[in-house]
Structure 1
């Protein structure tokens, strides 16, 4: 069955008959969950099953933003609270090992309820004076450290049967405003961007999935955010960075973007994006985005299939109780 180049959200903790009918008609490639969708583990497991049934595909990817810290959709009382990314960057000598272990534990939590894609690692490199929308979500302030810890997070997720999504390519770390509420404009030179912002993404360009940044880079394309810029997508993300995995938009409902939702999607696909992401579950908005989204085909389909081909059940021996105790002990000792 062909899928449309879409990842969509739903309204609540159960799937309504109307939502299921809409998803059956639209055939999105995947879905994304937020806190509004999270109940008990059994409820989440039932929801992921219902979403896949509606999509008509047992392998339909189901995404979540589970970074730790401020961005953790599944948390207490049913799941542990995980630290923000910056906590790992402050662990001298054990940063990568602890980040991998934390990601492996997250993967265990996610896979147990049917979630198989995590929108992490965050590979943005913040600079002094930038908005705190990234802030402590960033692992460090040096590209090399961000890349090292980001690689560890990606490996931990994949070891637990969950695909990573690196974000926000080609870099959100210099943004002076929150792209949920406005459009960030970055005036750094192309050389500066290449030396800092692009570096972690280039180092992890072999990963299967990436999410674009709703940021205007005036040195690259002064008129369009990266998500909708052919120059940024083709020359920078595919060219200079060398990423050939599946490229999805950040959420099209964010206020960094303007205009009708169909036009938002069409501009992203015209730029070379593979899959459109819409998160808030608003039916009218989703219908408009779907009107602007093509069937998944050609290079986008190849990239989607290649990403899912890297999705495998956890293949390493893993004692979750021992691992969680070791993780907590490592954080406590570092503190």
Structure 2
């Protein structure tokens, strides 16, 4: 086994349900810190287990992070017929914290059984009237209090099942009037309003180990650069006002909110203070560009990565059949 100090500060995707020879060779050479799976990578449970094992074999680390977006609702990469369908965030927020925690614990069970140990959830964005539907019913509610309580419960459920949560999209995507997958959102709200609402859930859950940045410009803080690429946002807001000292990763570098070549995108993110960059679509040419600008994971980012992985030991005893029956019964009456 190799050590985490051999890893590069990058999380990468792959193209299908098995690794190609080119991907295997590339990952062995690059040694990314982790990987991310999407629906294109999901086959049967046995196939997913084989893929996660193959990915970890390329880097020689049994605890290498393997991420997935498994929120429920319209963002659920693993679903029927092999896995249950989970409710969207809005409904989870309405169910109450006990059921939110139970649902997340069941979701963690699904993920852990196939070798996935990081879930890009909970989403802590607080949508406002007129914002783009990219958040919409994925949000736990429209008030920070509901988002905080539900987000905490979901994070606890994931951790109890041996899966690390990723709070997103820091410091807040709820006011965006366009989808950052397609264009660059610009938020003109004043600093006081942002602090009172958008930043509140992230402050309340700043003790969690992993967070994902937002490709959103906040004109009151940095009118030129999205949070992912802004030293001001990362230093003053994320590390300062919010007080987050965990591992900060980018949202997907291939999203159209960002401009320029992939080496340039990665360089700008690291210069801003990002710990780890994320590239999702499995394009080999794009990944090569990202990796050209990606350092090895050392220093403070390495400490944050190690602290995050140390939380994976926190698991509980769990009667899966009883818990799933209880959760499904609650959904039918809620």
| TM score, norm. by length of structure 2 | 0.98
- The correspondence of residues 71-220 of structure 1 with structure 2, limited to 5 A, is 71-91=75-95, 95-220=96-221
Distance in 1, matches of 2:34 and 2:76, equals 20
Distance in 1, matches of 2:101 and 2:108, equals 10
| 1:90 Cα deviation from its structure 2 partner | 2.2
Please state if 1:69 is matched with 2:70: no
Q: How many residues align?
A: 330
| 1:313 Cα deviation from its structure 2 partner | 5.8
Please state if 1:317 is matched with 2:321: no
Aligned residue for 2:11, secondary structure, equals strand
Please state if 1:276 is matched with 2:277: yes
Distance in 2, matches of 1:303 and 1:84, equals 30
Q: Which residue of 1 aligns with 2:291?
A: 290
- Unaligned stretches of 5+ in structure 1? none
Distance in 1, matches of 2:140 and 2:187, equals 21
| 1:332 Cα deviation from its structure 2 partner | 1.1
Aligned residue for 2:252, secondary structure, equals coil
Distance in 1, matches of 2:224 and 2:59, equals 36
Please state if 1:257 is matched with 2:261: no
Distance in 1, matches of 2:199 and 2:156, equals 20
- Unaligned stretches of 5+ in structure 2? none
Aligned residue for 2:178, secondary structure, equals coil
Q: Which residue of 2 aligns with 1:300?
A: 301
RMSD: 0.7
Q: Deviations over 1:170-216 (max 9, x none)?
A: 00000000000000000000110000000000000000000000000
| TM score, norm. by length of structure 1 | 0.98
Runs of 4+ in structure 1 deviating by more than 4 angstroms, as ranges, are none
| 1:89 Cα deviation from its structure 2 partner | 2.0
Q: Which residue of 2 aligns with 1:23?
A: 27
